[in-house]
Structures are given as structure tokens and as C-alpha cells.
Amino acid sequence: MNNNLTSCCCGGKDCLKPTNSIIEESHKILPETILQFINQCLKEEKPASQLIAVLHKVQDHFGYLSPQTMDAVAYLMQIPAAKVSGVASFYHYFRLKACGKFIISICLGTACYVKGAEAVLDKFREELGIEEGETTTDGMFTLEVSRCLGTCALAPVVKIGEDIHSQMTVGKVPAIIEHYIEQSKKAQ
């Protein structure tokens, strides 16, 4: 049993209430805007129903849901950590690992696939030295696949950040990667 937890006033055997030190630590982990949102949610009739909205805000801020941020949400919202983790791992939208500065999403929908998206994906894997769901060691790129980006007429399509690259070919991949490396250098 974690020494920072105390039995809840209801006397429930498995019901745990965080101590002040855990609450203080949670306040250090999460930014003020999210803390305010959680406090607003706690005033509602069913605050636990706002868990997904809170997790979206946390991910929007940090880029992913770390074990520490999920624990902070659990403690502050008084929801079991297992439930928070279960919700986060159930929904495909939530990221449980840090991602790169640039998220590369290769569309493998039917139109893109038949026009060579798999070869484009293979080239990104080769150039970056990673597989889908992985991030380069320098934290620059994360490689993902998508089932459809809704731009079938431009197939095959790759989305990097908010940029759509249409009619992709294997030959375009190195130059596109270099473009984002240079863009990152200019931003520093």
C-alpha cells in the first residue's frame, strides 16, 4: 500500500483518498488551465463523466498521457487510477508514449494503398530507422499509419503535422524528411 494514501472516510476497504502531499504533487504536474478545468468538472453532478474531456486537455498540453499525468488526474478527480488508465488505453485517440515533434501519418486507405502507399511507408521506415508507433531517437519524428485521411483523389497521401503531401512517391520521401529537419532548425 502506498504510504501517501489514507483510508477514505467511508471506511471502504479499497476506497483510498489521496493525502495533501499527493494533491500538492498533482498540482505541480498539471498546468493551471487543466487544474481549473478539473475543478470546474468536480462541481458538476457527475464529475467522472468528464474524464475523457480532461484527458483530451492533458494530451493537448503534453502531447501524450504519461503515467504521472494520468495519476494526477485520477487523484484530483477521485477516480481510480486503473479506470483512468483503462479509458486512456481503450480509446485509439489517446497517446501513452511521447511522440516526435513531427507526426508522420501514412494513409493506407484503399485509394492510397493501391497507388503505392505501402512502398512509401517502407521508405519512411528505412529513412527514419523506425516502425509504426515509434519515435526517432532524436525526438523529431513519430511514424503512424492511418486508414483514411479523406483525400482519396490526391492518393497516396502523407500527413505531417497539419501538412498534407499528395501523390507521394518513394523518391519524394528523403526530401520531405529533410524539409522538416530544416524547418525545425530554423525554429530554434
In tens, the pLDDT along 140-161 reads 999 999 989 899 999 999 999 8
Q: Which of 79, 152, 5, 23 is nearest to 88 (CA)?
A: 79
pLDDT of residue 4: 44
Q: How far is residue 173's CA from residue 117's CA, in Å, rounded to a whole number?
A: 12
Q: How far is residue 142's CA from residue 13's CA, in Å, rounded to a whole number?
A: 43
pLDDT of residue 12: 44
The x, y and z cell numbers of residue 17, run together, are: 483518498
Which pTM value belongs to this model?
Answer: 0.67
CATH fit for domain 102-187, picks 3.40.50.300, 3.40.190.80, 3.40.50.720, 3.40.30.10:
3.40.30.10
What is the fold, at CATH topology level, of the domain defined by 5-90?
Answer: Arc Repressor Mutant, subunit A (1.10.10)
Low-confidence ranges of the chain (pLDDT < 70): 1-18
Contact assessment for residue 161 and residue 103, using Cβ atoms and an 8 Å cutoff:
yes
Q: How far is residue 28's CA from residue 72's CA, in Å, rounded to a whole number?
A: 9
Q: Domain map of the chain by residue range?
A: 5-90, 102-187
Classified as helix, coil or strand, 102 is: strand
User: Helical H runs in the chain?
Assistant: 20-29, 32-42, 51-62, 67-77, 81-90, 110-114, 117-128, 173-187
pLDDT of residue 29: 93
Classified as helix, coil or strand, 77 is: helix
pLDDT of residue 25: 86
